[in-house]
Amino acid sequence: MRWRLLMLFLGLAAVGVAGAEVELHYFWSATCPDCLVMKAYLAELQKTYPELKVVAHEVTFNPDNWRLMVTLGKAYGLTKEVTPTVFVGNLAVTGVGLAVELQIEEEVVRCRTAGCPSPLERLPGKLRRVLSPLEIVLILVVGAVVFLLLGK
């Protein structure tokens, strides 16, 4: 009987240690060296916290991901659009470094214990209507080509 109670206690303790699933959104650029540093850090963090779900969004070649990052950034109070950007729980953070990593891990631990909604729940009904850097470059290139062709 004692053995069964001990096993039940250990089983319940193991469930409590696992914690709630935590959803983290990571926005990165294919041209960003700091994004590779953040990607490696998040991979290590996932090993430590298996219930961490990292959702990666490449923003350079996907304008909709850029708009998603900008819209989430506004919802979280960010004032600039840069990569890497991470959203988890109540945290929105940009850049890399030990201070950023500590903030992310602290929020992941808090969300495992307290539970946190997906960052996407902060989105308003529609994504912001902004041009991505890729779209701006394409407009400039097409405009330059048209100018050169019509200027002759």
Q: What is the pLDDT of residue 146?
A: 66
Our measurement of the distance from residue 38's CA atom to the centroid of its chain's CA atoms, rounded to an integer in Å, reads 10
Residue 1 lies in a domain: no
Counting the structural domains of the chain, the total is 1
Token pair for residue 22?
Answer: 């935590």
Q: Are 67 and 36 in contact (CB under 8 A)?
A: no
Whole-angstrom Cα Rg for the chain: 21
Query: How large is the average pLDDT for residues 128-140?
Result: 63
Residue 79 lies in a domain: yes
Residue 101 lies in a domain: yes
Residue 83 lies in a domain: yes
Q: What is the pLDDT of residue 120?
A: 93
Binned at pLDDT 50, 70 and 90, residue 19 comes out as confident
Query: How large is the average pLDDT for residues 106-126?
Result: 93
Question: Can you give the CATH number for the domain in which 90 is found?
Answer: 3.40.30.10
* Count of beta carbons in the 10 Å neighbourhood of residue 40: 11
Residue 103 lies in a domain: yes
Q: What mean pLDDT is reported for the chain?
A: 84
Q: Which of residues 59 and 150 earns the better pLDDT score?
A: 59
Give me the percent of the chain exceeding a pLDDT of 90: 67
Query: How large is the average pLDDT for residues 9-38?
Result: 78
Q: What is the pLDDT of residue 89?
A: 97
Measured between alpha carbons, how far is 146 from 81 in angstroms, rounded to an integer? Answer: 30
Q: What is the pLDDT of residue 137?
A: 61
The predicted-structure confidence for 52-104, as pLDDT tens digits, reads as follows: 999 999 999 999 999 999 999 999 999 999 999 999 999 999 999 999 999 99
Residue 129 lies in a domain: yes
Q: Is the pLDDT of residue 127 over 90?
A: no
**How far is the CA of 27 from the CAs of 2, 33, 81, 84, 136, in angstroms?**
51, 13, 10, 6, 19
- Regarding pTM above 0.85, the answer is no
Residue 13 lies in a domain: no
Residue 108's closest CA among 39, 35, 21, 26? 21
Residue 11 lies in a domain: no
Q: Are 40 and 84 in contact (CB under 8 A)?
A: no
**131: domain range?**
21-151
